[in-house]
Structure 1
Amino acid sequence: MVNRSGKNGHSNGSKPNDEDLKNALLEYSEEMLTHEETLARLRARFGYSIKRSTLFTLLKKYGVPSARKNAKKLSDEAQTSLVLDKLDNDLFKRNGPNVIRNMLARDRTPLPR
């Protein structure tokens, strides 16, 4: 039997407009959420229920930065200089590695551990 509507019996909810979705995905990237947490937030905030593959397609479409992409794109020297710049701004030298990673993520240049 052919399903002419193409929905396959699943309701993903209504897709939010592109600008809202892009802003939400950038916000979640800055918070360094896992993919499961991102999917849960999309479901709670917009009622938009999607799977991982669709999420990855949207992340690629909107150019959302990730630590893995930046690790491939930036050289080791560039990554080191970004970290050292953040360390230079730390007056009391009390920020640990996780704080530095979070600062870089908020600047939309997340780096891996």
Structure 2
Amino acid sequence: MSEDTHRPIRSFVRREGRLTSGQQYALDALWSRYGIDSAGPDILEPERIARNEPTLILDDCFNREPDSSRQTVLEIGFGNGSSLAEMAAALPDHDYLGIEVHRPGVGNLLRLL
């Protein structure tokens, strides 16, 4: 394929699907327990960034004392959450941090917990 026939680069655009009542209920009921708001002060603290300190303290996210023996699994773009829920059920001694912009997928994952 020549350079003239390449498709143009497209930027990411979030497309919001419809939330089912179960997904909305899960978001409403469980987000405060399991969710991390990306714009929250705990995530982006300029003072910590300036001192080159971690800006996301996983022990704080998981509400526990520091424990270096636990492994953390990061899943970026977990879709509807079923694979992340299965991993968490199979290896409950790990910590899981899932990143997803599709709210119906986040709601579905919370519903599966």
TM-score computed with the length of structure 1 as normaliser: 0.24
More helix by share: 1
Structure of greater relative contact order (alpha carbons < 8 Å, 6+ residues apart): 2
